[in-house]
Structure 1
Amino acid sequence: MSNTLCRVLAAASIAAILAGCDPIKPSGPSEPSDAYTVAQLSNVLNIPLASSSRTVATLSNAQNRIVVLAGPPARVLVNGAAIGSDTDVQMLGGTLYVAKRLESGIRERLQYYQAATVDLRPRPQPTEHPLKHVSSPPRGTVMIDPGHGAHDPGTKSACDPSLKEKEVNLAVALALAEKLRQRGISVILTRQNDTFVELSQRAQMSNRAKVDLFISLHCNWTERSAASGYIIFARQSPLPGAVKAAAAVADRLDGAGFARYGRQPVLKDFIVLAQNNRPALLLEMGFMSNRFEALRLADAGYQNRFAQAVADGIEDYLRK
């Protein structure tokens, strides 16, 4: 830049200051008018901004969890359900933006507590009807095995390295145990906290208890980051009960909208399956190597829905 031009710009800046105007500043990227910052989205939805970085932001309260992911792939997850596309999330000047057009879709997926109401109107007396046959709850014992534990963390999340597979496995196992017990099904857990149990010992526990079904819960990992979906494993030459249980669980997971990875079940002699004399399955719930699926697996609402579908499948199996 020539000395003459420098003097001209300096004089213009001084003149602007003397005139009561702000000095000329270099222009940066402008805020998009059709998008919210994650902080603005937090205010609009009245859901606190729990954390925010250049790639991921989380809004959460007691009922809801919204995750904004810069990608790839760029997504907005509302209680585990994905909405929008790559173009609906932008990173500008270190700030995450979400397209305003997603607001209605986000609100549709939010969960709210419904205020209790009391109906004081007189009610008609019930009429007597012959008792209809009510099916009795299924009888049986299920052993749930949350994979890994303690010094064996399993794999880790592609989105949050601090989240370990063992934590997801245990969370889903506890939710599944509660849902089965509510249906009158006896449940045994190989671990109920962050402890370690040898693989052969897990199979021995199943054999000693003579359970009707053993199911080991895990999360998957692969170098192919696009891989996603659940996988159900049974041992080579599986017991007929294991094949039926795998089909029942897969039907319920498919019906609930969970993606599967390939044909089910896959036959493989994992120790907890090969040394097990009872109908036994190993369920890989999804790929933590997939950023999109890793976020879902970390979401409590998603974990609960997954456990619900598995419980439905196990109940179907025990009834047959």
Structure 2
Amino acid sequence: MTAALLEVMDLAKRFPVKTPQGKGLLHAVDGVSFRIEAGETVGLVGESGCGKSTLVRLLTRTLAVSDGQIRFLGADLGLIAPELMPSHKTRREVQMVFQDAHDSLNPRYTAFDTIAEPLRLLAGIKDAAELERQVEEIARLTGLPGELLSRFPHQLSGGQKARVGIARAAVLRPRLLVLDEPTAALDVSVQVVILQLLAGLKRELGMSFLFVSHDLNVVRLLCDRVLVMYLGRVVESGPAAEVFANPRHPYTRALIASIPGSGRDAGAHLLPGEPQSPIQVSGAAAATRCHFHGRCPHGAADCESSAPALREVGVAREAACHFTGSLPAF
């Protein structure tokens, strides 16, 4: 197997918390492993609180790793302290587009200054003519009219601010672009335009994407592969078309059945019960049961006593379920 652009191995992040029973650890990301190949778009989905945002913060090195490795182009990013990452050479290769374009822009910077800042700080470009050339080029690629470059964020529409955020992340031509719900705060009509822009930009610059989203239809259309997270763990992964056509984990089935217009009977895949707590109290034995036990409509005694590992269920497909081979037709 050739080396991946990004390889995540047994990645974990635990936060110390206080509970009525004493001190504990919240397992926000719990042994996550996956790969992103050069030129690939990988979708990351799961309900709120499943660990998506924490995983993104670990990958972009704004949060320290508890355990595991993040290998990017063969080097372990986990060894770079978060406070050193902003000026580290790898920052040029891993950039992020934030969920709220407005809050991520400096209100005192024009669009030009916002896009030019990474060039000044990370590429060391000081020449005014070269800065102008590169900013104008990426503005063209992101569909941002030149006359808007002198405007401040409050003078731009939501879609224009989204384009500025994308241009800022793409101006350095990174190998990996992490997109955290990049269209969530936009009107539906604007979302379509931004998604088309991202697809074109990926083709033009040859980047890889990690696309985090609650919109499963967008993930299905935009992504090559999909990772499904539940309570800090990846419970299913595989080619997007195959996962959406025939999900092999009960949680993935419930997510896909909930998509409006999916043609699935959402009522038949409703999840009973409440999610387990991701907190382990100090001194207590680690839970061995499946994280999905108690909500799974197919749960059995094996799920209570043994947590299923992520295992192959087809070509380039994995699922963490004891009964993935015996689930009824979807």
On whether the aligned pair clears a TM of 0.5, the verdict is no
Q: Please, what TM-score do these two structures have when normalized by structure 2?
A: 0.22
Q: Please, what TM-score do these two structures have when normalized by structure 1?
A: 0.22
